[in-house]
Amino acid sequence: MGVEGIGASVARKEDKRFLTGKGRYTDDMSVPGMKYAFFVRSPYAHARIKSIDMSAAKDMPGVIGILEGKQLQADAIGNIICGWMIHSKDGSPMKMGAWRPLAHETVRYVGDAVAIVVADSMGEARDAAEAVVVEYDVLPAVTEAVKALEAGQPQLHPEAPNNLIFDWQLGDGAAADKAIAEAAHVTEITLRNNRLAPNPMEPRATLGIYDSAEDHYTCYTTSQNPHVARLVMSAFYNVAPENKLRVIAPDVGGGFGSKIYIYPEEIVCLWASKKTGVPVKWTCDRTEAFLTDAHGRDHVSTVKMAFDKDNRITGLKVDTIANLGAYMSLFSSAVPTYLYATLLSGQYAIPAIHANVRTVYTNTVPVDAYRGRAAGGDLSSRADYGDRGAGTRRFAGGTPPQELRADFPLSDPGDHELRRR
Amino acid sequence: MAKVKMTVNGRQVGSDCEDRTLLVHFLRENLALTGTHVGCDTTQCGACVVHMDGRSVKSCTILAAQAAGSTIVTIEGLAGSGELHPVQAAFKANHGLQCGFCTPGMVMTAVDMIRRHGANLDEATVRSELDGNICRCTGYHNIVKSILAAAAEMAGAQQAAE
């Protein structure tokens, strides 16, 4: 007989249903009278919507309804918010532009949703969506954050001149500057932490059900946090008061952060269910996932690391430009600030650190936390420039990387404890 | 619209569907067999793998009409009710799954490769055979471990039977 109690292997409860095809993922859900939704999305990175012509589409077989941003606006459905206030160095609040769940006058990234088609079957919804004619006035677009800050670039939101959302800092700038000025050696490098697409195996899906008899909404959705979804959808997006909204996350096939946020699709499917009088299910396909699931990272950082003559790191100064995409996602402001700069020391005791972070709008998919938030950026950056710092020292007749590391004994927990302030 | 008939998990079934209906949607929507999953739109991910006339196929890239008259086995049909196929049991014992979404496809692919390679399966072959199945949670190590364990178990059981 095996071990019991502490040390025993505890088998997972969910494996049996996952292994036998009895998992209940959102797209597996079905309710009587359920219909299917497909979103019409912008093929342009930046454009004004001139007109939306549904005349051909709405008469196509199986179509129940086609809804657009103007109607969403008229029904007072709220804009998507970023829930974490960050102030710039000058004390001003972050410049949050409006993110309408269905674009109203302007589309700001390829994939920005413009209309929702509800039909009897997936195929019919897709066919009708292709027959919706949207006339766009195409505008110049900018996709690189560094470029978007320059003068003369396309401006995404009137609230954010030069596309700057906020200019934030953390740490002791004077001490870091002093360490650099007095250093025996300074290594400076530019690091690019490229954009990532989370791509959990299960694409996002939502089943929005409005029950007119009870005046009550139910939302099955691929969410990592259904309670947050309910709170945000009732308090900010005005979908329904909290006591009239039930959010259920059944089995979820991976998220890694990308299923934390409340996306346009959940809000619109619930609203569409009320408008059309039928339960509305939307399932993302993989191409759509690349276009609409929150992306990760997309930082460019200039890093300066100061060393004394014994190869100890005496100071670190980081200047990061972080691309947040076309709109501010739910936690996007917290990611390159408190979930990043606070971690720059890593496992080393660096006495003087300063970080400056500027966040920028560009005509790209919104960026938010993705598995380890931006930590991947800081730790690999640091290890990287730690190595490069040592490498440069070696080329200049300095110490090889192994000796640099030896100054920071990681294997001795006592010493590690001492160094953690 | 046409009525498409086939044998699925030992039962003869028939259902109306559009000509363009993919086998995976026929299984999920028409037959309510939602264990087979859709994970991509490029035939790359393998979440849709089923067995058709004894071979593993990607059901997202076969029309239901193409499968007319064939014998299909899905994840739901791998073992009798309440039991686990040795491959399913091995995944359970070796923590070969996390979110479970890629799992039906992994299991069906595993059963097929064990059928073809038997006890000769080694790690390199398993990894090569899994080229058409993507997992975003596990990093594959425990999936490979599960499959090798299952192959050994099934070879042992076969030897005992002989």
pLDDT computed for residue A373 by the predictor: 59
pLDDT computed for residue B119 by the predictor: 84
Torsion of CA A387, A391, A397, A402, to 10 degrees: 50
Of A241, A258, A292, the residue at which a domain comes to its end is: A292
Q: Does residue A217 sit in the same domain as residue A204?
A: yes
Q: Does residue B69 sit in the same domain as residue B99?
A: no
pLDDT tens string A10-39 = 899 999 999 999 999 999 999 999 999 999
Closest CA in chain A for residue B77 = A20
pLDDT tens string B129-147 = 999 999 999 999 999 999 9
* Least CB–CB distance from A18: residue in B21, B97, B135: B97
Is there a domain that residue A367 lies in?
Answer: yes
Q: Does residue A323 sit in the same domain as residue A348?
A: yes
Write out B90-105 in H/E/C secondary structure.
HHHHCCCCCCCCCHHH
pLDDT computed for residue A386 by the predictor: 53
pLDDT computed for residue A155 by the predictor: 98
Would you place residue A393 in the very low, low, confident or very high pLDDT band (cuts 50, 70, 90)?
very low
ipTM of the complex: 0.97
If DSSP codes are grouped into helix, strand and coil, which group holds residue A301?
A: strand
Q: What's the gap in Å between the CA of A50 and the closest CA on chain B?
A: 31
Q: Does residue A131 sit in the same domain as residue A55?
A: yes
Interface of B with A (CB under 8 A): 18, 20-21, 25, 28, 32-42, 45, 47, 74-76, 78-79, 84, 88, 91-92, 95, 97-104, 107, 134-137
Of A292, A312, A347, the residue at which a domain comes to its end is: A292
Q: Does residue A119 sit in the same domain as residue A182?
A: no
CATH number, domain of A409, equals: 3.30.365.10
Would you place residue A419 in the very low, low, confident or very high pLDDT band (cuts 50, 70, 90)?
very low
Q: How many angstroms separate the CA atoms of A68 and B74, rounded? A: 40
Count of domains for chain B: 2
pLDDT computed for residue A374 by the predictor: 54
pLDDT computed for residue A395 by the predictor: 31
- Higher-pLDDT residue of B162, A312: A312
Of A292, A311, A342, the residue at which a domain comes to its end is: A292
Show residues of chain B in contact with A201, CB under 8 Å: 37, 39, 45, 47, 99, 101-102, 134-137
CATH number, domain of B131, equals: 1.10.150.120
**B17, pLDDT greater than 90:** yes
Q: Does residue B66 sit in the same domain as residue B104?
A: no
Closest CA in chain B for residue A34 = B29
Q: Does residue B73 sit in the same domain as residue B93?
A: no
Sign of the four-CA dihedral B56, B59, B62, B68: positive
* Least CB–CB distance from A19: residue in B25, B38, B92: B92
* Least CB–CB distance from A254: residue in B38, B79, B136: B136
**A414, pLDDT greater than 70:** no
- Determine, for residues A203 and B38 on separate chains, whether the beta-carbon distance falls below 8 Å: yes
* Least CB–CB distance from A18: residue in B40, B100, B136: B100
- Determine, for residues B88 and A20 on separate chains, whether the beta-carbon distance falls below 8 Å: yes
Q: Does residue A37 sit in the same domain as residue A126?
A: yes
- Residues contacting A376, CB < 8 A, separation 6+: A193, A297
Show residues of chain B in contact with A200, CB under 8 Å: 99, 101, 136
Q: Does residue B152 sit in the same domain as residue B98?
A: yes
- Higher-pLDDT residue of B46, A308: B46
Of B57, B77, B97, the residue at which a domain comes to its end is: B77
Q: Does residue A381 sit in the same domain as residue A237?
A: no
Q: Does residue A133 sit in the same domain as residue A244?
A: yes
pLDDT tens string A216-270 = 999 999 999 999 999 999 998 999 999 999 999 999 999 999 999 999 999 999 9
Q: Does residue A214 sit in the same domain as residue A245?
A: yes
CATH number, domain of A263, equals: 3.90.1170.50
Q: Does residue A202 sit in the same domain as residue A84?
A: yes
Of B77, B111, B133, the residue at which a domain comes to its end is: B77
Q: Does residue B45 sit in the same domain as residue B6?
A: yes
Q: Does residue B112 sit in the same domain as residue B146?
A: yes
- Determine, for residues B100 and A15 on separate chains, whether the beta-carbon distance falls below 8 Å: yes
Is there a domain that residue A245 lies in?
Answer: yes
pLDDT computed for residue A411 by the predictor: 38
pLDDT computed for residue A87 by the predictor: 98
- Higher-pLDDT residue of A116, A390: A116
Q: What's the gap in Å between the CA of A9 and the closest CA on chain B?
A: 10
Q: Does residue A265 sit in the same domain as residue A374?
A: no
Q: Does residue A150 sit in the same domain as residue A248?
A: no
Closest CA in chain A for residue B79 = A20
pLDDT tens string B103-127 = 999 999 999 999 999 889 999 999 9
Write out the residue range of the structural domain in which residue A389 sits: 145-196+295-419
Q: Does residue B101 sit in the same domain as residue B43?
A: no
Residues B60, B77, B124, CA angle at the centre, nearest 5°? Answer: 65
pLDDT tens string A325-382 = 999 999 999 999 999 999 888 877 889 999 999 999 999 999 999 986 554 445 445 5
A54, two tokens: 């549904």
Show residues of chain B in contact with A15, CB under 8 Å: 91-92, 97, 100
Write out chain B in H/E/C secondary structure.
CEEEEEEECCEEEEEEECCCCEHHHHHHHHCCCCCCCCCCCCCCCCCCEEEECCEEEEHHHCEHHHHCCCEEECHHHCCCCCCCCHHHHHHHHCCCCCCCCCHHHHHHHHHHHHHHHHHHCCHHHHHHHHHHCCCCCCCCHHHHHHHHHHHHHHHHHHHHHC
Count of domains for chain A: 2
CATH number, domain of B25, equals: 3.10.20.30
- Whole-number mean pLDDT of chain A? 90
In this prediction, residues B45-68 reach a mean pLDDT of 98
Is A252 in the B-facing interface, judged by CB distances under 8 Å? yes
Q: Does residue A180 sit in the same domain as residue A158?
A: yes
Q: Does residue B92 sit in the same domain as residue B46?
A: no
pLDDT computed for residue B113 by the predictor: 98
* Least CB–CB distance from A11: residue in B32, B92, B134: B92
**A397, pLDDT greater than 70:** no
pLDDT tens string A123-155 = 999 999 999 999 999 999 999 999 999 999 999
Q: Does residue B99 sit in the same domain as residue B155?
A: yes
Write out the residue range of the structural domain in which residue B11 sits: 2-77
pLDDT computed for residue A51 by the predictor: 97
Closest CA to A376 of A254, A224, A143, A196: A196
Of B27, B59, B77, the residue at which a domain comes to its end is: B77
Is A25 in the B-facing interface, judged by CB distances under 8 Å? yes
- Residues contacting B128, CB < 8 A, separation 6+: none
**A406, pLDDT greater than 50:** no
Q: What is the CA radius of gyration of chain B?
A: 16
Total Cβ atoms within 10 A of residue A411? 6
**A417, pLDDT greater than 90:** no
Torsion of CA A357, A347, A304, A170, to 10 degrees: 30
- Residues contacting B92, CB < 8 A, separation 6+: A11, A12, A15, A16, A19, B84
| DSSP type of residue A25 | B
**A392, pLDDT greater than 70:** no
Query: What percent of chain A is predicted at pLDDT more than 70?
Result: 88
pLDDT tens string A192-217 = 999 999 999 999 999 999 999 999 99
In this prediction, residues A82-98 reach a mean pLDDT of 97
Strand partners, A36: A119, A281
